[in-house]
Amino acid sequence: MASSASSSNRQRKRKRDKSSTTLNSQSNSTPEKVHLKKSQKEMLRHETAKIVLWRQPIRTLHYCILELLYLSHLSFKRLISYRKTLSLSVVIGILLLLIYNVEGPHQTSIQLVESLLLSALYWLGLGIASSVGLGTGLHTFLLYLGPFIAQVTLAAYECGSIKFPRPPYPNEIVCPPTTSTTTTTRMLINTNETILTDLLETGTISFWKILWKVKLEAFCWGLGTAFGELPPYFMARAARLGNTDMDDDEELGDFEQLLKTAETHNLKNLTLFERARYLIFRLIKRIGFLGILLCASIPNPLFDLAGITCGYFLISFWTFFLATIIGKALIKMSIQTVFIIFLFSEHHVERIIRWMKHIPYYGRLLQTPFKDWLQEQKGKMHRKPGENLTGHVQRISLLTRIFNFFVAGMIIYFVASIINSLAQRYYKRTHTGLKLM
């Protein structure tokens, strides 16, 4: 018994010695491995930054196409893995298609639902494009929703009504034709060769009527921005649960590095931008739902950090998502809509244009294009649905041309940033052996 006990003790001692030697070897090699890993990451980051359309167009487009094929294949595999849900969706889709094509009195309701659904999906997509992390976000409020609300506001006061004929509304806004010069008589709307009668609203145009007119578009756009904030949340959550590495995503790696720097060093060592990011992190970590709601309720370009923070600390999905929807789709969107309606309300635009002449040196020069723009917008509103602009708008104002070029440039840059992002994603995935998703 004594000999067996002594032999077992010897074996334990040998195992301890082996483990200690392996630990020592690992500890001695760890700094070198860490340094090598950092240098490889820096080289990978440097090479990835070169893959852009304006430096390597052919290579970037090639990588983008390969990444799109890879993502399509991966999405298809994931889709067919949910067989029951897919089968049920196909059956429901076939039934809806049959109902849509069958003639009957229900077609009137279907057309109404179709128009509302298409409008909602359009603004929802623009909201997602504004905040989703595909390259650089497209500022769709500035380019689409803001001008739409401003146009509705100008037309409401110019026409004396918010009953704009469909079509062309909402693609174009035209004053409803009336049988007299007043805005309280009955009007005739010619839509698809069918004469419809409608009574123009009595009373003056109020702020709340305009707000009610654009409520659906504004809410759908705000809801889309809330959906666009989900990818950072899911990526950070997957990284914290160990499904992916924080270093695989540059933004997640920067967030982890920010936390380490803030905890080990004084906040004075951080830049102003890094302090703002850290304050958002502290706010959400301390008060949770209310912190997310507060960050989502104000124009906040750093809200991506809120999603990363919530995912990193495994905050409930519904807590994050509901706070984001309430903040973005209800509170923040209402503030922005109210501001645009107030700015373009009756006489405000004319008053601002009159004040421009008091700007030293360049006042008169700035006043002219804004006057032409306002005259152009009013001319568009007083034509018949489907009628050409000729005769109502003498020439396109300089301000409209500049804005059209600005919109085209922003869209081109947005598409280019998506192509660059997909190409860089392919390069990272193939050179690190990791499947980024």
Question: Per DSSP, what are the bridge partners of residue 178?
Answer: 187
The full DSSP string for 31-45 is HHHHHHHHHHHHHHH
Main-chain phi, psi angles of 187, to 5 degrees: -125, 160
Which pLDDT belongs to residue 24?
44
Which pLDDT belongs to residue 431?
79
Of 20-24, 163-167, 231-235, 302-306, minimum mean pLDDT range: 20-24
| Short-list 324, 330, 314, 252, CA closest to 292 | 324
Name the more confident of 436 and 283: 283
| Short-list 390, 197, 228, CA closest to 306 | 228
The full DSSP string for 7-36 is HHHHHHHHHHHHHHHHHHHHHHHHHHHHHH
Which pLDDT belongs to residue 377?
81
The tokens describing 293, both together, are: 């709601």
Distance CA 19, CA 75 (A): 44
- The pTM (predicted TM-score) of the whole model is 0.75
Which pLDDT belongs to residue 220?
94
Residue 23 has pLDDT above 70, yes or no: no
Question: Tens digits of per-residue pLDDT, 366-377?
Answer: 888 888 888 888
The tokens describing 400, both together, are: 């409209």
Which pLDDT belongs to residue 184?
37
Which pLDDT belongs to residue 61?
94
Q: What residues does each domain of the chain span?
A: 164-204
Question: Tens digits of per-residue pLDDT, 96-140?
Answer: 888 888 888 888 888 888 888 888 999 999 998 888 765 566 788
Residue 241 has pLDDT above 70, yes or no: yes
Residues 6+ away with beta carbon under 8 Å from 251? 133, 232, 304, 308
Question: Tens digits of per-residue pLDDT, 266-309?
Answer: 666 676 767 777 777 778 878 888 888 888 888 776 777 778 88
Distance CA 188, CA 193 (A): 12
Residue 65 has pLDDT above 90, yes or no: yes
3-state secondary structure of 189: strand
The full DSSP string for 117-176 is HHHHHHHHHHHHHHHS-SSS---HIIIIIHHHHHHHHHHHHHHT-S---TTTTTTS--PP
| Short-list 363, 362, 297, 358, CA closest to 333 | 297
Which pLDDT belongs to residue 68?
93
Residues 6+ away with beta carbon under 8 Å from 325? 223, 226
The tokens describing 58, both together, are: 């052919």
Residue 79 has pLDDT above 60, yes or no: yes
Which pLDDT belongs to residue 385?
63
Residue 170 preceded by cis peptide, ω within 30 = yes
Rg (alpha carbons) of the chain, rounded to whole number: 30
What average pLDDT does range 342-363 have in this prediction? Answer: 82
Residue 37 has pLDDT above 70, yes or no: no
Task: Please tell me which of 144-148, 310-314, 342-346 the model is most confident about, judged by mean pLDDT.
Answer: 144-148
Residue 233 has pLDDT above 70, yes or no: yes
Which pLDDT belongs to residue 2?
47
Segments of 202-269 assigned E as strands = none
Residues 6+ away with beta carbon under 8 Å from 33? none
Name the more confident of 14 and 40: 40
* Local confidence band at 29 (pLDDT 50, 70, 90 cut-offs): very low
CB-CB neighbours of 78 under 10 Å: 10
